[in-house]
Chains A and B, each alone.
Chain A
Amino acid sequence: MMSRPQLAILAALVRKELTVLLRDGHALASLFLMPVIFIVIMSLALKDIYNPPLFGRAYAVDVRDKGPLADELMKRWVEKHGEPKALPADPTEALRRGKLRYVVAIEPTFSEVVSAPGTPSGVQVRLIADPALEISLFRATEAELSALVGEIRAEALQDRFTGLSTKGGQAIRLLVSTERLTLSLHPTAVQQNVPAWLIFGMFFVVNAIANLLVQEHDNGTLSRLLTLGVSPGIQLLSKGLPYLIVNCLQAALMLAVGVWLMPVLGGDGLSLTGIHWGSLALLLASLSIAAVGMALALASLIRTHAQASTIGPILNVLMAALGGVMVPRSIMPSAMQTLAGYSPMNWGLEGLMAVLLRHADPGEIMQPVLSLATFGSVMLVAAVILFKRRTRQ
């Protein structure tokens, strides 16, 4: 336990750290602005990768059949995909140039062939796509078109032989129900990028702390405090505590960006409705301990501003790349996924995703919480040892 005078010293030094930080525009920008910018840019840039829209892509139709089934097919397609563009004179060239994403061509005998029993005599519907169309989108469009043709054929044959009309796709809709759970483990770009860049920003305190320690070592203020009897432990604590506060503010800001700013900018919104706030607090606290612990240990090791400006960011970027911040772990090859499991950023990211997407309770995120807290504690012990050694030099 600290004595009252020691607490007074700690309070004065924490106040000093916060004042110094508030007057350091570069440090504030790297801690708050940079992750916000990353969240906005990456969420918008990767929006379609995480949530590919089938609706609204530019397409055209070439309907040569005047029959009712071709009309029905087009009616249902337009209901889902919007009005088609006018068919250009050279559709293939338009596709190659990216002016259209796909063209649906219906042969003149479509209605006749589709409503006839037996094996169809030839291809009646063609899907021709932009070479740059993502393969997943191409497959999805192909599947949807096939299903729609099948649906219309089934309706036509039933009508013809039984007289029971089930037009409008009602039978299929009664038979098949699809639902995408909002709490699925497949995040949107915002759901992936907010926690990812929040964690990146939290670990970025290593730069600020390392530069501060180098500066204070060089200008003799660390020695001056030691001369005044301020122990290395209190000095380290006074460096760490303000950055725990900084981490809290970073978390609040990044989540606010996800909830309120991203929808305004045209991205998906981050929903915090229904999450377990205790889990979020627990996870952020353990993340902060890990980030500040690592920052203090590294800062105690670093000797020059050049080292502080390179080692910290490089390590951060490597941990982020490995830990699923830059590339989601789910799309990494299995060997890389195993490797990602060693990055504290990944522990934090998996935990945050569980809290934000699955609404995990504290018991469900105990593993990442304990891993982060243990990592942070080991780093803090290392920081004390390294800092004491440094003050002796």
Chain B
Amino acid sequence: MLQINDLGYQYPHSAKPALDGISLTARRGQVLGLLGPNGAGKTTLISHLAGLLPIQRGQILIDGVPLEQVREDAPTRIAVAPQEYAFYPTLSVRENLQCFGAASRIGGKLREERIAQSLAFSQLERFADTRAARLSGGLKRRLNLAIALLPSPELVLFDEPTVGVDPQSRAFILEAVKTLARQGIAVIYTTHYMEEIEAIADHALIMDHGKVLRDGTLSDLLSEGATRLRLIVGNMDAATVCDHLAALGAPRIEGEYIVVTLDAGVSPATAIAAVESAGARIEQLDYGHYNLEHLFMALTQRSLRDQ
């Protein structure tokens, strides 16, 4: 469905590129999770897909057709559910849907049908005649979603859609995203919340400083650290410990941690024994599969919420 090749973008007056050689693929019926802290380039990427920024370098293809052409011919194939409440607060839910339905070039009876479908999907029927400003935060997110789905898009971009919503609305939105994917829609979902990616994404992509740090299925990413031993020693400098571990794998220093990916056939017990026999006192260690939090921290040296 979506193919991005070597996408690069640098804002005017900016010293560093916001996107630097991004490549990815999104398929129909799949949720692609985009993880990254502020400044990672997620919003710039979404803005490209939404047609809000020109392509400076690289290529974006929709079913093999350049994005510019798709946006010229059928811009509503791609929809955005933005982080902001992108609707008119003084209009009612239905009036908003009618306005954006018309802006999506849906006319007459079909528009009314689509409005009814979107209201039903977002469970907003009861609030159809309520002014948008009077909706709760969660309902506003649902209206954002309902507007995005009006033109029956093939690719939906969710830009941090659960920021500031209650747990019930968050669960509703996550379930809606999964339902859309089941209906064959390609979904790109950006968030700060790794548990959301773990809950809904088939494929995840970790970005920072405009680059893709990891790209793979969720299971691949989580098993990436299967032979990874991470430890903190108390009475020896990290570089010396790395020297002692060099024969057993590929050690490196990550912040206060010493991380070593053990060679095939080397057990963690062997590595621990090697460190202790060198006289080092192990204060903390973990071994085995990553969760996304660990992987993210290992890749970016910072927490997602540590902006």
Interface residues of A (CB under 8 A from B): 5, 8-9, 11-13, 15-16, 19-20, 23-24, 218-221, 223-230, 391-392
Contact = CB atoms under 8 A, between A and B. Distances in A.
B281 interface: no
A224 B90 contact: no
Contacts of B85: 219-220
B241 to A, nearest CB: 49
Given A20-B91, A227-B75, A228-B100, A221 B107 contact: no
A225 B53 CA distance: 14
B84 A220 contact: yes
B78 interface: yes
B90 A9 contact: no
Nearest to B50: A227
B91 A19 contact: yes
Contacts of B147: 224
6 shortest interchain CB distances as A-B pairs: A229-B75, A12-B102, A220-B86, A220-B84, A224-B86, A227-B50
Nearest to A238: B103
Contact of B105 (A5, A20, A227, A392): A5
B60 to A, nearest CB: 14
Contact of A228 (B53, B76, B107): B76
Contact of B80 (A5, A224, A392): A224
A181 B212 CA distance: 82
Q: Which of B75, B82, B86, B103 has its CB near the most chain A CB atoms (within 10 A)?
A: B103
B134 to A, nearest CB: 12
Contact of B52 (A19, A219, A391): A391
Given A5-B105, A23-B90, A392-B54, 15 more contacts: A8-B107, A12-B99, A16-B91, A16-B95, A19-B95, A219-B86, A219-B87, A220-B84, A221-B87, A226-B50, A227-B51, A227-B79, A228-B75, A229-B75, A230-B103
A12 B105 CA distance: 10
Interface of B: 50-54, 71, 75-76, 78-80, 82-91, 95, 98-100, 102-105, 107, 147, 151
Nearest to A12: B102
A312 to B, nearest CB: 20
Contact of B82 (A8, A23, A220): A220
Nearest to A21: B90
B53 A392 contact: yes
Contacts of A225: 103
B153 to A, nearest CB: 10
Given A8-B105, A224-B100, A229 B71 contact: yes
Contacts of A220: 82-86
Contact of A20 (B71, B88, B102): B88
Contact of A9 (B53, B80, B102): B102
26 contacts: A5-B105, A8-B107, A9-B105, A13-B102, A19-B91, A23-B90, A24-B90, A219-B84, A219-B86, A220-B85, A220-B86, A221-B87, A223-B50, A223-B80, A223-B82, A224-B80, A224-B86, A224-B87, A224-B100, A226-B51, A227-B75, A227-B78, A227-B80, A228-B103, A391-B52, A392-B52
Contacts of B91: 16, 19-20
Contacts of A230: 103
